Amino acid sequence: MYYESYDAVVIGSGAAGFSCAYRLNQFGKSVAIVTEGIFDGTSRNTGSDKQTYYKLGLAGDRPDSVLEMAKNLFSGGSMDGDTALVEAALSARSFLNLCELGVPFPVNRYGEYVGYKTDHDPYARATSAGPLTSKFMTEALETCVKERNVPVFDGLLAIEVLKTEEGACGVLCLERKSGRYVLFRCGNVVLCTGGPAGIYADRVYPKSQSGMTSLAILAGAKLQNLTEWQFGLASVAPLWNVSGTYMQVLPRFVSIDEHGEKREFLQEAFSDPYEALSLIFLKGYQWPFDSRKILHGSSLIDLLVYRECTLRKRRVFLDYTENPFGLKEIDFKRLAPEAGEYLKKAEAAFGTPFARLEKMNRPAVELYFNKGVDLSREMLEIALCAQHHNGGISVDLWWQSSVCGLFAAGECAGTHGVSRPGGSALNSGQVGALRAASFISRQGNERIAVEQFERISEDAKNRLPILQKGAKGVNLKSKISLARRRMSDAAGAIRNLPEMKEAYLKTKRDLEELSSILSLGTAEEMYQYFKFRDLLLTQAAVLVAMIDYAETHHTRGSALYTNPKGEHPKGLEEFFSFYLDDGESGAWVQETIPEKDGLRIHWRSVRPIPENDDFFENVWRNYRENQNIY
């Protein structure tokens, strides 16, 4: 049997994966990256008008501290305090490493990393290298990994983590091109597979990102906060968030039915068009759908878009060529003061939405133009899309999962809670990569003897379908599309208990059907099989978590759990009634635990922010002994 052996294998080539491999190499470990596609994933292929990185304050006269930053992260609710403290403590080191590697984060003339405020950020810790911050990060880290001659196995889909009672001992992969299985033997596996984007139809993640959270589920690793996502309005072709200026210039919202009948639908919900316009403006910097802003705020706009798309089955577009509501000219004085004054200051209180966009943000016009959409003539299709998973694989303060030797860093790790400051995802990925690598650097490399490894990998392969020329073909692509649509409709930003239960039953049925497949005729079918299996296992885990949450708690974060007895958002059907959580749930973490007979839900208190012994001599003494890695 052929396999490669390393101290650690990192799965994924996004900002987290490259960073972890770089650190492992730096700390003297033998490491390889396994990736489905070196140019795939969210980090390399996504961005926004100003893609944000959240870090400790490094400019000006306003004091910042590790503990203050940790408290801000922790205050999002359902986040573990030790995770928050580590993310704050290592944010400067991780950020400055990226600067040293050449990511162009701006400094002022005196070298200060001047920041700005992002959502859920009381300080001004955010910075940005422009619309493509995460792409620049990935490219800089990739260069560094290549310079260090870290092997990158491209075109391999990791499908199972191999393990014994003691912990992880290897990875089983599928080579996409040939459909053959490939093995890695290692004492440590770091999952950097990104967010499980593939479970949803309506998503702004790049097409090349689907994630593989099932690697952890099949290994029996705990997951947490699976209910917590971030949703927001995004264009569907190209996939891009329509945040910031795209909303502040007040476009028209138009929906079209299957016969091509067009109408502006926001006016149904508002008696005063200027109230609607003011909320559209606010959506610009209140981008994520936020359940606290439904009854009296800008998230009503998200719900109205959702209703058109999902309930009324109409396609929704932004139109920049004309002012909304048949207004020849907008009376800017009638907008909410923050909207009217902002547009005046920006010298954009005139003309059509397109004219305002050109005036305020010419690059925003060019961005779509370069991607094939001319906003001066064409409408832009949008939907309420999944953008980020706050929950994921449970990790401890070294980003190790509940399975020894199996780590998770980046978006697949469930390190965030209900809400998080914009930009903290990129910080978490870098910090998690460093923590996992630091811990692994002090570990032994081999968990088991060669013969035992060969037995385990043989057993694993025998449980999986084989590639057999002439085997009956199966069209899994259309089943994948159906399953994604089902999930977006039942368990996206709007969650209705009976619909989620039905979706769960259908997911289980699909899984049963899939498990009866023993052979497949082509390499592509093998690949689709494992993609579909991952999608269904992950959907099942997310649905179990959401169903339990809906049965025990009220609406929070970036989701609305319908409740016919609750409060009713104006202008919408009874269906959208809900009760808002009073914040109590933020003291708890919901865990989803894979067990032999299914998934079990367990609620535990959040781990508090640790109180440290900060006496230098004590810290130093321990550091000399074990670098405080334990």
Ligand X SMILES: Cc1cc2nc3c(=O)[nH]c(=O)nc-3n(C[C@H](O)[C@H](O)[C@H](O)COP(=O)(O)OP(=O)(O)OC[C@H]3O[C@@H](n4cnc5c(N)ncnc54)[C@H](O)[C@@H]3O)c2cc1C
State the residues that interact with ligand X by CB under 6 A. 11-17, 34-37, 40-43, 46, 48, 51-52, 134, 157-158, 192-195, 204-205, 209, 211-212, 241, 387-388, 410-411, 422-426, 429
Task: Report in angstroms how near the CB of residue 164 gets to ligand X at its nearest.
Answer: 21
| Cβ contact 439:399 at 8 Å | yes
Name the residue nearer to ligand X (CB basis): 210 or 323: 210
Angle at 279 between CA 296 and CA 302, to 5 degrees: 80
All residues at 6 or more sequence positions from 259 whose CB lies less than 8 Å from its CB, including other chains: none
- CA distance linking residue 418 with residue 440, whole number of Å: 29
Q: Output the smallest distance, CB 483 to ligand X, in A.
A: 17
Establish how many alpha carbons lie within 13 A of residue 144's alpha carbon, considering only the half-sphere containing its beta carbon: 25
Amino acid at 267: Q
Select 132 or 440, whichever has its Cβ closest to ligand X: 132
**Residue 409 Cβ, how far from ligand X at the closest point, in Å?**
7
- Record the tokens describing residue 558, joined without a space: 């970036």
Q: Which is nearer to ligand X, 156 or 503 (CB)?
A: 156
Per the CB < 8 A criterion, the answer to whether 536 and 272 are in contact is no
Q: Torsions phi, psi of 97, nearest 5? A: -60, -45
Q: Other CB atoms closer than 10 Å to residue 462's CB: what's the count?
A: 8
Strand (E) positions, 349-470? 380-389, 392-393, 406-408, 466-467
Nearer to ligand X, 154 or 264 (CB): 154
Residue placing its CB nearer to ligand X in the complex, 11 or 233: 11
Backbone angles phi, psi at 464, to 5 degrees: -110, 160
- Smallest distance from the beta carbon of 290 to ligand X, in angstroms? 16
**Nearer of residues 40 and 525 to ligand X, judged by Cβ:** 40
Distance CA 299, CA 232 (A): 9
The span from the CA of 157 to the CA of 348, in Å, is: 49
In the bound complex, what is the minimum distance in angstroms from residue 239's beta carbon to ligand X? 7
Shortest distance, CB of residue 37 to ligand X, whole angstroms?
A: 5
Q: C-beta of 427: minimal distance to ligand X in Å?
A: 7
Nearer to ligand X, 205 or 368 (CB): 205
Burial class (CB in 10 A: 0-12, 13-18, 19+), 24: buried
Q: What's the closest the beta carbon of residue 489 comes to ligand X, in angstroms?
A: 20
Nearer to ligand X, 8 or 277 (CB): 8
CB 414 within 8 A of CB 390: yes
- Residue with smaller CB distance to ligand X, 162 or 500: 162
Minimum Å distance from CB 507 to ligand X?
19
| 8-state DSSP, 573 | -
Distance CA 127, CA 465 (A): 47
Do the beta carbons of residue 22 and residue 89 sit within 8 Å?
no
